[in-house]
Amino acid sequence: MAEYLGPTPIATVTRLSIYLRTLEEAQSENIEYISSMKIGQRNGFTSAQVRKDLSCFGNFGQKGKGYYIPSLIKQLRSILGLSQKWNIAIMGLGHLGQAFVGYKGFQKSGFNIVAIFDTDENKIGTKYNGIPVHHPDDLKRIAKNKDIQIAVITVPSSVAKASIQRVIDAKIKGILNFTDVRISLDNEFVMKNVNLVGELETIAFYITRPDWQCRGI
What's the burial of 76, exposed, middle or buried (CB within 10 Å: 0-12/13-18/19+)?
buried
| DSSP-based three-state secondary structure for 199 | helix
Q: Does 126 bind a copy of itself (CB under 8 A)?
A: no
- Which lies closer to a copy of itself via its Cβ, residue 124 or residue 191? 191
Q: Does 68 bind a copy of itself (CB under 8 A)?
A: no
Q: Does 129 bind a copy of itself (CB under 8 A)?
A: no
The number of angstroms, rounded, from the C-alpha of 32 to the middle of its chain's C-alpha atoms is 27
Q: Does 29 bind a copy of itself (CB under 8 A)?
A: no
Q: How far is the C-alpha of 46 from the C-alpha of 99, rounded, in Å?
A: 34
51-57 contact pairs (CB < 8 A, 24+): 53/12, 53/15, 53/16, 53/19, 54/19, 56/8, 56/12, 57/16
| DSSP-based three-state secondary structure for 38 | helix
The 157-176 site mask, x for binding a copy of itself (CB under 8 A), equals x---------------xxxx
Supply the minimum distance, in Å, between the C-beta of residue 214 and a copy of itself.
4
Q: Does 11 bind a copy of itself (CB under 8 A)?
A: yes
Q: Does 201 bind a copy of itself (CB under 8 A)?
A: yes
Q: Does 190 bind a copy of itself (CB under 8 A)?
A: yes
DSSP state letter for 50 = H
Q: Does 130 bind a copy of itself (CB under 8 A)?
A: no
Q: Does 206 bind a copy of itself (CB under 8 A)?
A: yes
Q: Does 47 bind a copy of itself (CB under 8 A)?
A: no
- Which lies closer to a copy of itself via its Cβ, residue 55 or residue 145? 55
Query: Exactly one of 74, 111, 138, 146 binds a copy of itself (CB under 8 A); which one?
Result: 111
Count CB atoms within 10 A of the CB of residue 131.
18
H or E segment and range at residue 115:
strand 111-117
Sheet of strand 127-128, all strands in order from the earlier edge strand to the far edge: 127-128, 131-134, 111-117, 86-91, 150-153, 174-177, 190-193
DSSP string, 116-143: EE---TTTTTSEETTEEEE-GGGHHHHH
- Which lies closer to a copy of itself via its Cβ, residue 22 or residue 137? 22
Query: Exactly one of 32, 56, 126, 147 binds a copy of itself (CB under 8 A); which one?
Result: 56
Give the footprint of a copy of itself on residues 76-105 (CB under 8 A): 79-82, 84, 86, 88, 94-96, 98-100, 102-105
- Which lies closer to a copy of itself via its Cβ, residue 123 or residue 192? 192
Supply the minimum distance, in Å, between the C-beta of residue 145 and a copy of itself.
19
